[in-house]
Structure 1
Amino acid sequence: MPPHLFAHAGGWHLANARRTGVAKIRRYGRVKEPQYQCMNSCFGYIRVSTQKQGEGVSLEAQKDAIQAFARQKDLTITKWFEEKQTAAKGGRPIFNQMLRQLRRGGASGVIIHKIDRSARNLRDWAMFSELPDAGVNVYVATESLDFTSRGGRLTADIQAVIAADYIRNLREETIKGIQGRLKQGLYPFRAPVGYLDQGRGKPKIPDPRIAPIIREMFERYAAGQETYMSLIDWTGGKGLRNQKGGPLSLHGVETILGNPFYAGLIRIKRTGQTFPGIHEPIISVSLYEDVEAVRTGRRGQIKTRHQHLFRRLFICGHCDGCMIPELQKGRVYYRCKRNFCPTKTIREDMIQAALRKELQRLELTARASAKVHADCETVSTDGKLSEARSAIELQINDEEARQERLTDLLIDGTLERATYADRKAKSDQRLLDLKQQLARLPSATQIQQVHRDLAELQKSLVVTYEMATSDEKREFIQNVWPNRKVFGKNVVVEPSGWLQEAVSGNLISFGDPVRGHGRTFGPILELSRKTRARKLSCKASGE
């Protein structure tokens, strides 16, 4: 800036500021207080890229170098600007604040440690390099650059371009490394809630304390027992916290339920890419799909105000409409929603009595149970196991071939990248589900043990049902009776195949006992174990 600058149109008058150190500012005849500025006053700017670096010696080293330079040049540092933020992107608040104060005459100069400490992007460097044109002296503590000469400014510009290019190359190499980790099935970012970090190059592992809460959280939401808001209270009571140690928010609950990482699939939200992970999943893919169906509205939320026991479990046998519960005079009635349907209402206690009677009919006698145990020892399931394994492997091969065709369509330009990413994500999810099914495929010994456990369970169906909680009773009913109807005042239920075969004296047919969907062996056996543990607890306490 020349020594005398007049801006008559705006009414501003700045005269002899550099020579006298006094800024006389007049505007429309009003005189402001003069700002006294020393000729050798300077700002000191130091910066590190991250908070973690700021905890080390980097900032102190920069500060010491700048102070030594100031003493050598007889400069006075009147204010320090310290920033812990990367210079690869623009918009640094402290850096911009310093520029504004320098343009207003807050100091006659600024001292930085190195060129790359001021800016690593050309936009910020353009603003910083204009300071000498505004009469501000720029000093670099580690180099003898003269910003008043053309050669000195050219050298500084070249160093700034090199710093910007370094950041671009570093970004490309970082992205390349991240992509490599993702293709290996590793998640190179911070572990989500419910998982623990094991260091670089190692998969995340489930947190033994938090993972069961996460699993139950998915199960409760998929079963319609909870909403987002009620899950906040439920997880708070369980002691589940976010990564900052605070309680889960509404967005936090939504993030957890919508993250396929818990099912073993890595999804990069920004790009839409998906990768099969090698970490241990907390939930099955089928459970995640059930949650997604509820979240996206493909399956309605079934939480009601009163949480009646048989809500949405029974349908009208005449019109196939859902039986709606109502509380009237202390009793719960289930009615058909169609006005002219022959089925009117049925009381909840009548449904309870009908279910108990049906359970008594399905219970095995000691003789029938012994026959099932004997059949388990003699009947071989190796052939059925091989058939099941071959069927799943064929489905895996078909899905992998489908992915190859998708890639070919993308390369040929027939498929847009966004469409490809969406189809690839769904294909990865199906492929992961099939691989999980293959991994969970039981051995012949395990199948025989499942048959024995089911035979023991079927000896005490009524007791198991009576000892269960309300949520467990609902799960029990869904697994024992796939089809449940009401005709007038009569309850008609159709038992699962494994129950019918056991009652008729046949060996239970082979099936996947741990498939994620309902009405399977896994949930019903788990419920039986909980009930037996509850019975033992009651006996021990003398109840």
Structure 2
Amino acid sequence: MAEFIERGRSGRSMERPELRQMLAYLQTRPVDFVIVHKIDRLARNRADDSAITNLITGTGARLVSTAEPINTTPGGRLLHGIMASIAEFYSHNLATEVMKGMRQKANQGGTPGRAPLGYLNQRHHEGDGREIRTVCVDSERGPHITWAFNTYATGQWSITQLADELNTRGLTTRPGPNTAARPLTLRSVHHLLRNPYYKGVVTFNGVESPEQHEPLIDPVTWAAVQDILTAHRNGERSRTHDHYLKGTVYCIKCGRRLIVQHTRTRSGRVYEYFVCHRRGNFDCPQRRALPIADVEQRVADSYRNLTLTAELRDRIEQVAVAGLHHQKAAKAERLHNLIKQGRTLEANRGKLLDAYYSDAIPRDLFLAEQRRLKIEHARINRERATIETDHATIERQTRDALDLLQDVHTTYERATEPIRKQLNRAVFERVLIGYEPDQIRVELNDPYRELVSPDNESSTETDF
């Protein structure tokens, strides 16, 4: 006699260790009876019940239930089939009711299931004995989640660096009844950054619902992180060769990035070059490598043409500040309109959810409309964030930019490599460079594109 006990395993699956062991046991030993408590403990659907029963009877054993009078007679087989059908119905009906309850909770902004990392599920009882389940911010892990989003939104960190820093800070997964807390993996960090729950949106079965929990990040930061993740295709790769001009210099022939290449001679000496990213695919006419020292000097020299005289600086400041004050009223009106659009959008999202849950529209149409509203909501939030920047801040940034341009070449020459990298990203949209010394074209970012006079800007460009 042998006993096989399956603890905490669903009868809906045949992939159960104890069931597999029992079936293997039947193949190696003569057994007369296989006794189960109830049919639904053995299988929860008719297909599995039939398969398991055939495997048992194929060894010469008989299946016996202690709670149901099944046997090999026609009546016993009929009862067996009926009990298997009832077990399948009960299992499917229970799953349907559970899903209905979870969907209803999500529709009301609640959290179905376990809250993600950074939050805690809480239970408390009202005076009448009712149990209330809520979600609150995990005071230990929540701040790390906020830091992770804000840090990754800068665009200066890779997923690998972020995961290492989070683990160094002590952020771990939550321990369970049978599992210990574990360090975060790259996959878990990427999943964390993609989870809209942290911006206050509950997603269940593809449906987004308004939140009741406290968001850990704002919509603008969320959108910035998603843009970076999408651009990097599930995370930025860590590069072996780094340089402060990477991401700034581009090939003047095809417009693609220049990357760092290290060439080692037979004597062991290493030479550093910039080469076109597409050179190896033979679809760029720029075949020759560019010495890194030469590219560094040409970028530094391009700052000479961006220097403003004191007189021109003051004149530009007056025009810029006057323009900002002129735009103030128009921006206030635009902000008012955006707020109204946002409220209308929220009302439409509520109507869409009501229509979907009342089965008034099909799922594919609902998901398409939900996506459209989501894109529109992100656009409104980005525009609001831009407009809501106060005029004092904009004026200060304009003056700072003008101050920088007064002697930007000297500042750049004296700067460390990390500061040079920041200056390049702030001033240049990109610098296109070719092999010949005069092959360089500078494209400026705002506000420098407007601040630099046409004469100055054109002097930094040479057509190829």
With structure 2 as the length reference, what TM-score do the two structures score? 0.61
Give the deviation of 1:288 after TM superposition.
0.9
Partner residue, 1:381: 328
Partner residue, 1:95: 19
Give the deviation of 1:320 after TM superposition.
4.9
Aligned residue for 1:162, secondary structure, equals helix
Aligned residue for 2:208, secondary structure, equals strand
CA distance in 1, matches of 2:121, 2:398: 40
1:314 paired with 2:249, answer yes
Task: Mark the CA change 1:209 to 1:252 in structure 2 (over 3 Å): closer, same or farther.
Answer: closer
Task: Mark the CA change 1:389 to 1:284 in structure 2 (over 3 Å): closer, same or farther.
Answer: farther
Aligned residue for 1:309, secondary structure, equals coil
What amino acid is the match of 1:196? Y
Partner residue, 1:167: 91
Instruction: Give identity over the alignment, percent.
Output: 22
Tell me which of 424, 427, 448 is aligned to 2:392.
Answer: 448
The 5 Å alignment of 1:76-91 reads 79-91=3-15
Aligned residue for 1:484, secondary structure, equals strand
Contact residue 187 and residue 266 of structure 1 kept, 8 A: yes
Give the deviation of 1:188 after TM superposition.
2.3
1:437 paired with 2:382, answer yes
CA distance in 1, matches of 2:63, 2:289: 91
Please list every run of 5 or more consecutive structure 2 residues that lacks an aligned counterpart in the other structure: 123-132, 175-179, 264-268, 454-464
Tell me which of 125, 130, 144 is aligned to 1:209.
Answer: 144
Residue-by-residue CA offset, 1:149-205 (whole Å, 9 max, x unaligned): 877776665454333222111111122233334444555244445x32445554878
The 5 Å alignment of 1:19-418 reads 79-101=3-25, 109=33, 112-126=36-50, 134=60, 136=62, 138-140=64-66, 143=67, 145=69, 158-184=82-108, 186-193=110-117, 195-199=118-122, 200=133, 202=135, 207-217=142-152, 219-220=154-155, 226=158, 241=172, 245-249=181-185, 251-252=187-188, 255-256=191-192, 273-275=206-208, 278=211, 280=215, 282=217, 283-295=221-233, 304-315=239-250, 320=255, 322-323=257-258, 325=260, 347-351=294-298, 353-354=300-301, 357=304, 361=308, 381-390=328-337
Task: Mark the CA change 1:264 to 1:144 in structure 2 (over 3 Å): closer, same or farther.
Answer: closer
Give the deviation of 1:308 after TM superposition.
1.8
Residue-by-residue CA offset, 1:22-55 (whole Å, 9 max, x unaligned): xxxxxxxxxxxxxxxxxxx5x5xxxxxxxxxxxx
**CA root-mean-square deviation:** 5.6
Q: State the number of aligned residues.
A: 406
Give the deviation of 1:305 after TM superposition.
3.5
Give the deviation of 1:208 after TM superposition.
0.9
Aligned residue for 2:44, secondary structure, equals coil
Task: Mark the CA change 1:109 to 1:89 in structure 2 (over 3 Å): closer, same or farther.
Answer: same
Task: Mark the CA change 1:169 to 1:398 in structure 2 (over 3 Å): closer, same or farther.
Answer: closer
Give the deviation of 1:232 after TM superposition.
6.3
Task: Mark the CA change 1:428 to 1:467 in structure 2 (over 3 Å): closer, same or farther.
Answer: farther
Task: Mark the CA change 1:230 to 1:212 in structure 2 (over 3 Å): closer, same or farther.
Answer: closer
Contact residue 481 and residue 493 of structure 1 kept, 8 A: yes
* Stretch moving more, 348-357 or 360-369: 360-369
Residue-by-residue CA offset, 1:60-89 (whole Å, 9 max, x unaligned): xxxxxxxxxxxxxxxxxxx35243201133
Task: Mark the CA change 1:315 to 1:84 in structure 2 (over 3 Å): closer, same or farther.
Answer: closer
CA distance in 1, matches of 2:192, 2:285: 42
Task: Mark the CA change 1:198 to 1:473 in structure 2 (over 3 Å): closer, same or farther.
Answer: farther
Task: Mark the CA change 1:365 to 1:234 in structure 2 (over 3 Å): closer, same or farther.
Answer: farther
Give the deviation of 1:104 after TM superposition.
5.9
Task: Mark the CA change 1:146 to 1:209 in structure 2 (over 3 Å): closer, same or farther.
Answer: same
CA distance in 2, matches of 1:386, 1:181: 38
Give the deviation of 1:313 after TM superposition.
1.3
Contact residue 90 and residue 124 of structure 1 kept, 8 A: yes
What amino acid is the match of 1:437? R
Give the deviation of 1:352 after TM superposition.
5.5
Task: Mark the CA change 1:466 to 1:181 in structure 2 (over 3 Å): closer, same or farther.
Answer: farther
* Stretch moving more, 367-376 or 166-175: 367-376
Contact residue 109 and residue 136 of structure 1 kept, 8 A: yes
Aligned residue for 2:431, secondary structure, equals strand
Give the deviation of 1:387 after TM superposition.
1.7
Give the deviation of 1:119 after TM superposition.
3.4
CA distance in 2, matches of 1:355, 1:302: 30
Residue-by-residue CA offset, 1:461-512 (whole Å, 9 max, x unaligned): 76997898756643442333335345854666455443566789xxxxxxxx
Task: Mark the CA change 1:319 to 1:92 in structure 2 (over 3 Å): closer, same or farther.
Answer: closer
Give the deviation of 1:145 after TM superposition.
4.7
CA distance in 1, matches of 2:333, 2:121: 37
Contact residue 44 and residue 91 of structure 2 kept, 8 A: yes
Contact residue 116 and residue 163 of structure 1 kept, 8 A: yes
Partner residue, 2:456: none
Task: Mark the CA change 1:377 to 1:122 in structure 2 (over 3 Å): closer, same or farther.
Answer: closer
Give the deviation of 1:351 after TM superposition.
4.0
With structure 1 as the length reference, what TM-score do the two structures score? 0.54
CA distance in 1, matches of 2:161, 2:168: 11
Give the deviation of 1:135 after TM superposition.
5.3
Please list every run of 5 or more consecutive structure 1 residues that lacks an aligned counterpart in the other structure: 1-40, 44-78, 505-543
Give the deviation of 1:291 after TM superposition.
2.1
What amino acid is the match of 2:241? H
CA distance in 2, matches of 1:146, 1:324: 74
CA distance in 2, matches of 1:343, 1:126: 70
